[in-house]
Copies of this chain bind each other. A is one copy, B any other.
Amino acid sequence: MIVPKRVLVRGTGLIGTSIALALRAKDVQVFLSDADTATARLAADLGAGSLVPDLRDAKGIADVAVLAMPPAVVGRELGYAQECAVADVYTDVASVKVLPAAQARALGCDLEAYVPGHPLAGREKHGPAAAQADLFLGRTWAVCPLPETARDAVAAVTALAVACGADPVLTDPQTHDRWVALVSHAPHLVAVAMAARLAPSSVPPDALKLAGGGLRDVTRIAAGDSALWTQILSANAGPVAEIVAEVAEDLAAAARLLAALPQPASPVGALAGTAGVTNLLDRGRAGTGRIPGKHGGQPRNFAVVQVVIADRPGELARLFNAAGAAGVNIEDIRLEHSPGLPVGVAELSVRPGEVGVLLDAMEAGGWPVRR
């Protein structure tokens, strides 16, 4: 694959500018353009490339043009960029793909030269100032050609993704949108629907004192911006609706089964009528097992070591120093604080063979460990 030598980034927000910075680090010649001139200038000042004030003066300036903008405007901007003939190949980075592809088709764009794309990366912040050359490092980048898209165009965009450090995954717009509905949009709505049960004033604060880490995990993403998520969900409405309806059906069926049990429920052993619930639990378990873990591929089985730590400066440093001195790599860490108290439990994930060494090191360091 040959990395494009000259790339035009149209739309210099977080994603566009990050792509520009990543490509500049690979010595690609980058041109910048944005409907908001100040935004493009800021990106240029950050070293992301050279400013192109007017696309009408930029005929043939690039091998690939990247349209980095919300899904709803991609079609129109693609038409304009192709009218100006700024590049041989065009791609976009919008988080849904059917909508921009349909609009491009409706507007009569040259679909042979258009490769819908979607890098799976982002930040809480926006704008060129938040951009990072390493934003796509190790991230998946969906490349979603249309039936009309030329092979050379797909190869060029794939090479661009690789140059940004990403892991390209080839699919098509319809499949892409079903996938993101499944792994991102539907989970958001499910988290929201659970969190919404906590909102009524009929739920007293004491009830929420009984909450553990599980509830926090399930509902964490529900804190997202409502207006933004209404747009995201609407732009992928069909696939999201299908999956959410299936989740709703499974939950309604489980609720019916549980409601039909004797109240209060019989002791263990007399649980006739719960096979459907167990079946759902089994399917859920199988589903989580398929989510790739760290370092890609299947989730690695790390052992978890719990250490009680004081909540004061330097305490975690001391912990990691002790682990490091013992030659143990902490693969992951999770802090669970005891509400109301200045102590917490650190859950350290390590390779199973290193548990003993780590526990010894922790004990030697004076931490109460939980074997």
Contact = CB atoms under 8 A, between A and B. Distances in A.
Nearest to A267: B72
Contacts of A208: 183, 290-292
| 4 A-B pairs with the lowest CB-CB distances in the bound complex, closest first | A138-B338, A192-B284, A317-B320, A72-B267
A319 B338 CA distance: 24
Contacts of A211: 183-184, 291-292
Contact of A337 (B188, B238, B295, B316): B295
A46 to B, nearest CB: 11
A241 B289 CA distance: 26
A107 interface: no
Interface string A80-112: 000000000000000010110010000000000
A56 to B, nearest CB: 24
B252 A120 contact: no
Contacts of A284: 191-196, 199, 219, 222
B245 A292 contact: no
A50 interface: no
Contacts of A230: 271, 274, 277-278, 281
Which of A194, A195, A314 has the largest number of chain B CB atoms within 10 A? A194
A181 to B, nearest CB: 10
A208 B169 CA distance: 11
A265 B99 contact: yes
A332 B220 CA distance: 15
Contacts of A221: 214, 217-218
Interface residues of A, number: 155
A278 to B, nearest CB: 5
B236 A265 contact: yes
Contacts of A278: 226-227, 230
B258 A289 contact: no
Contacts of A183: 198, 207-208, 210-212, 215
A248 B255 contact: yes
Contacts of A259: 237-238, 241-242, 245
Interface in A110-134: 120, 123-124, 129-130, 132, 134
A197 B234 contact: no
A192 B258 CA distance: 15
Interface string A242-263: 1111111111101110110101
A261 B237 contact: yes
A314 B189 CA distance: 39
Nearest to A243: B197
